[in-house]
A and B are shown apart, each in its own frame.
Chain A
């Protein structure tokens, strides 16, 4: 593993089903983030975690939950998927202990289609 790994790369999901998107990083970054990307809307923050054991809500948190049991993993769960959650999801991480002035590292994304 080098950087951030997201899984799956794509998924078609029936509405109402539960889904967990996985994200793992090997850079020992303390902070991790989940974004969704929709055409014309750029990257919108769903949830974040500044350190293991803590999480926070971003701009569009409704319908999503996260956990941060350790430094490396930051799964995103859709409890009951709806079609409006069709999007491309990106996980990112950063070393905010250095003031965050080094940008984020992004994964390759998960393309989710809810039907």
Chain B
């Protein structure tokens, strides 16, 4: 089955700096890669996703890149703000009725003033 590794497990940046979280996946047939943000006491929320036919996607201060050859994808947050502090999860998915998302182990991002 699919295996997703996520690094780093914790990340501390100063407000205004950029943050990068990296994930690798094992199943070359995976074709959908969402990112979730989980704030304290809440469930994960989808913040951005990318499909395998796209190399990069951007939404305001967040962007995701995908390298299918190397089987890794990354989340980039620019101009970080305190409200970006949360746990971020990457996930991988392969189209098919029996498929389910496989999650990374999460990155705790702390944005300091």
Contact = CB atoms under 8 A, between A and B. Distances in A.
Interface of A: 4, 33, 40-43, 45, 48, 50, 56, 58, 90, 92, 96, 99-101, 103-109
Contact of B97 (A43, A50, A101): A50
Interface string B1-42: 000001001000000000000000000000110101000011
A107 B35 CA distance: 16
Interface of B: 6, 9, 31-32, 34, 36, 41-46, 49, 51, 89, 93, 95, 97-101, 103-106
Nearest to A109: B43
Contact of B89 (A42, A48, A100, A108): A42
Contacts of B45: 106
A100 B43 contact: no
Given A48-B100, A90-B43, A109-B43, A100 B105 contact: no
Contact of A104 (B42, B46, B51, B105): B46
Contacts of A104: 34, 44, 46, 101
Contacts, number: 57
B44 A90 contact: yes
A101 B43 contact: no
Contact of A107 (B6, B43, B97): B43
Contact of B43 (A56, A58, A108): A108
State the majority secondary structure of interface residues on B. loop
Contacts of A50: 97-98
Nearest to A96: B97
Contacts of A109: 41-43
A103 B100 contact: no
Indicate the member of B42, B51, B103, B104 with the most A CB atoms within 10 Å.
Answer: B103
A42 B43 contact: no
Nearest to B52: A101
Given A101-B32, A104-B46, A106-B45, A58 B51 contact: no
Nearest to A106: B43
A96 B101 CA distance: 11
A34 to B, nearest CB: 11
